[in-house]
Amino acid sequence: MSYWFIASSISQLLWSFDFSLDNWFGALLSVGFMAVMVGCNGKILITQSSLTTEHQQPEEYWLLRFPFSLHTGWTMAVFVMSINGFFNAFGLPEFIQLILGFVSLAAFAGISWKMLLANGDEPNYAIPAIVAWVLLGVAFGEGPRGGMEDFLGAGFKVISGVVGFGIGGFTGYHFYTKEVVDSDFVNVNFKGGEKTAAGDETDYVAPKDGSIA
């Protein structure tokens, strides 16, 4: 984690204080603080992945790496929404805000694609799962009321829900096909080694996710 964790924590603390500034400058600071958090947390995951050996125990992943994947997914989602908040602080027309919303959905889809299909040998399932959760929150959460805002907001909620369900469903499907179905060809024996379908024994290798570089 090195000093990246300290930098991320300080940035999150400053981001929390930034809520008192309800103007475009506060929105700009929010984008900056979240950008620092995304960079620091991403660096932590990259470093952890580079230092991980094939002998990593499951406890090491679930206790020392998985929480950082969750936090990185959250910071990425809030970073995208902070950018929207910055532009919305200027009172842009509704159709411009709608365009920004669709660009954000494309960004969420791109992040999920990177983590699942372009993240090296091992996908990162935690980050797209967080993205899906956030989009479902947008879809089923309370939105603006009144006139055209209701019409545009309802349409955007529906599309956000479709994208959220799509990302979540594909994440689950990819996890099942890669981590569950493929593992059926390997049986763990009582000595801690692995016996393949051919009967050859190999050293036990704990699962790990890939880097996000």
pLDDT higher at 26 or 54: 26
Q: Exposure of 178 by Cβ count < 10 A (0-12 exposed, 13-18 middle, 19+ buried)?
A: middle
pLDDT tens string 41-94: 999 988 887 776 666 677 778 888 899 999 999 999 999 999 998 888 888 888
Specify the pTM.
0.77
Distance of CA 60 to CAs 55, 91, 101, 195, Å?
A: 10, 47, 38, 23
